[in-house]
Structure 1
């Protein structure tokens, strides 16, 4: 299965809902969409991974680079909805601390402890 992306805007946030697999063959599409949103002035970008069943290192690379690009542009990029293998790889690599929305909100609310 490839990757399908759908973008919605609501309450000052742009949400990209991804469906399928994020891998070497599809990660460029996600990279392009994330870069376009941030460069167009979106200040809060959320990547919803609830319908993503696989994410390899190229997908992780896209998410990290997009996160860094957003920060340079005074924007935020967070990931939500990750579960199963995708959540496991984010937690194993430590990227959940930076990317996952729930974890980022908990860290901010507890003073960064």
Structure 2
């Protein structure tokens, strides 16, 4: 077990601090509020951290997980604490079928056909 492994590229935090090693990352995650630690992004970061420490693996998965969790937190703050909206594939398909342009349409063979303005 080696907590002293360093990231190839240190992780810069929004408050200006820098995470340089796995130990720094672990201590940072432990300092987060319990509600933040319970979020799925941070749980994935902790799992990646533990796996890398136990198997002396590459630090890149940990870096990616932490950066992803930090970005998710920033996005949430920008949206006012609301979870990001998700759309399913069927919702997108339904939206595209309802959205028709009076001049151009696309037929089943994905060719443009022109219509008339009435």
Q: Which of the five TM-score ranges fits, normalised by the shorter chain?
A: under 0.3
Q: Which has the higher contact order (CA 8 A, sep 6+)?
A: 1
- In terms of Rg, which structure is larger? 2
- State TM-score, norm by structure 2: 0.25
Structure (1/2) with the larger strand percentage: 1
